Amino acid sequence: MFAFVLYDEYRKRVLIARDPFGIMPLYIGQDVEGNLWISSEMKCMIEYCKNIKNFPPGHFAMGDPNNLNPQPFFVRPWQTEIPNQLADIAELRKRLEGAVRSHLQCDVSFGALLSGGVDSSLIASIATKIMRERDPSYRLRTFSVGMVGSPDFKHARMVADYIGSDHTEVIFTVEECLDGVRDLIYHLESYDIATVRCSLPMFYLARYVKSTGIKMILSGEGADEIFGGYLYFFKAPTYGEFHREMVTRLDQLHVSDILRANKVTMSKGLELRVPFLDTSFVDYVMSIRPEDKIPGALNCYSGIQDHRMEKYILRKAFDKNYLPPEVLWRQKEQFSDGVGYDLIEALPKFAAKRVTDAEFANVSQRFPINPPTTKEAYYYRCIFEDMFPGESPALTVEKWAPRLDWGCPEDPSGRAQEAHENRLKEYL
C-alpha cells in the first residue's frame, strides 16, 4: 500500500502514484492561482482549493505540475474479461498464508481486529500460526467492538479461545456513537450511509487499541469484494454480472470500506494492514471463474452445481484446524450490524428527529449533487457540507448500495437483504 508525491525542484517535475486499490487515501487539488495541491486528507485543502478530486487508485501522473494526466499502471485481464481459471483451494490457502506473512513484517507492537466473522478470524488465525513458528507460546493480541449482547462478541470469543489469543472486548453504547457522529465525519471525509455506520464502532475501537501501545493492526477488509461476500450477491442473475459487480466493488473500495478502515485508524495514529488486498492475492482470486465463487444455487465449485453460501471457496480452503466451525461457516454480517443491531435501528430514528419534513422535501434543491434519499443520509450530508462545502468535495464521495436492478433493497444493511437469516422485519 502506498501513496506518494516526488517533486524534482531542479526540473520542476512531479511524480504522483497511488496503490492499486486505494488503501492509502490521496487527494489532488488546485488553488485559485493554479498551484497543485496533494494531500492524504481533504480537510487541509478546503480553504485553498477550488477543485478537489480523488487521485485514482492504480494510477500515476508524471511531468509538469500544471499539466498532469493520471495514467493506469495496474491493468489486469480480469478487470475487463470474465475469467475461466478453476478454483484450487490448496493454492488459495497457500497464497493467503503468504499474504499474511508478508504483512507481518514490522518492528512495532501489533495486533488484529477480530469481529468474529470469517475474514478477520482467518487473518488472526493465520497470523498466530506464523508467529508460533518462532515462538510456540506466542499469543496474538486481538480486539473486538460492540454493544452488550453483540452477535460479534460471541463468535470473536470462540475464535480467541480457539487460537489462544490475548483478547479484549471494547464495549460502547448507542449514545456514545450518536455523540461521535460529527467528529467521525470530520475524520472520515464522507457522508455515505454505509461508510458512516460502519465507521462509528471502529472509531471507538481504534482509540482503545492505540491506548494499549499497539501501533499496527491487521484487518480482514477486502475479502467481500474479491470473493463476492456481500449478501446481495445472492441476487446476481448471471456469472458475468456477478464478476463485473466484484470488479466494481473493488474499484470503489477507496471511497467505501478501505477509506473507512484507513481513515478511522489513522485518525488515532494506528497503522492498518489488509492482507486480503495483497496485490498478488487479489490477482489470483479475481482470476478464478465466477462459477466457483458466486453464492447461491448457481455455484458450480468443483464442477458440481449446488446451493452454497457466500465465500464458500475461502471457507473450504481453511476447514482444517484454522477456526471453529461455528465461525468458519457463519453467515456474513455487515460490521455495523454485527456490533449490535440496536445501533442500525437507532441511527435513522436519531436523524429523523433532527431533519424536518420540510427540509427533506427540498433535498434536491439543497443538494443537487448526490441528493440524499433518507433523513439519515440528509443528516450526514448536512454535517459534511458544513465542514467540506462546495461541489468538488461532495463529488469525492460515492454511495455504497446494493444493486437495485437486481431487486435488492436500497438499505445497505445486510439484514435488509433477502438472504440474511435474521432479515429486518420491514423487509419481510
Nearest to 316 by CA among 329, 298, 330: 329
Q: Which residue has the cell 438499505?
A: 411
Q: List residues forming the annotated binding site for ATP.
A: 113, 145, 219-220
Helix %, strand %, coil % for the chain, to 5? Answer: 45, 15, 40
User: What three-state secondary structure class fits 155?
Assistant: helix
Angle at 400 between CA 231 and CA 2, to 5 degrees: 105
Phi, psi for residue 355 in degrees, rounded to 5: -125, 120
Q: Which three cell numbers stand for residue 350?
A: 436519531
Q: What is the crossing angle of helices 257-266 and 193-211, to 10°?
A: 30
Q: List residues forming the annotated binding site.
A: 113, 145, 219-220
Q: Report strand pairing: 27-31 vs 49-54.
A: antiparallel
Angle at 46 between CA 42 and CA 52, to 5 degrees: 65
Nearest to 145 by CA among 180, 100, 185: 180
Q: For residues 129 and 131, what is the distance between their CA atoms, to the nearest angstrom?
A: 6
Do the Cβ atoms of 296 and 234 come closer than 8 Å?
Answer: yes
